[in-house]
Amino acid sequence: MTRQPELGTERLLLRRWRDADLDPFAAINADPVVMEHFFHGVRTRADSAAFMRRIEQEFERRGFGLWAVEVPGIAAFVGFVGLHEAVFEAPFTPAVEVGWRLSRAHWGHGYATEAARAALDFGFQHAGLDEIVSFTNVGNLRSQRVMQRIGMTRDPAGDFEHPAVPAGHPIRPHVLYRIIRRP
């Protein structure tokens, strides 16, 4: 596997994290609209710093992770997109998922789709993955549309109750999308 700290697309730079990313990342994680589809809801600055550390540890361990997304000439940090190990208990885990979280000000520009395609390409071409998954709660239609635009297919037989969300909670039911490496 080739370790590659940065990925470029037509409009974006996916890069390793910098200390300066903490404040805008904490602001994203404190936005209740951005975080509405996460059981734990909004996060503190300390939570965000701890998550950044875990992301960097995954880069060191796996050679990939959730890249910080920059829009050169427009914004130094708009969120993250990348690959992450899904290790919770579910029929399809362990697996590598493609995921994203962008600031609300940068929704609707196609950034998540563009960056996720680059992450998938890296996963298949450089990390040697055969399959990548993505999942979200059933109500997160915005993320499901990104999954569809990047060529993922819904696997209704793989839909699951997220074990980190308490039974009976409205966001516990999750949908599963998959994509396999094409020869």
pLDDT tens string 82-117 = 999 999 999 999 999 999 999 999 999 999 999 999
In a domain, 15, yes or no: yes
At residue 2, the pLDDT reads 43
In a domain, 144, yes or no: yes
In a domain, 1, yes or no: no
Read off the pTM: 0.94
pLDDT tens string 23-46 = 999 999 999 999 999 888 899 999
- The CATH number linked to 163 is 3.40.630.30
For residue 40, the one-letter residue type is H
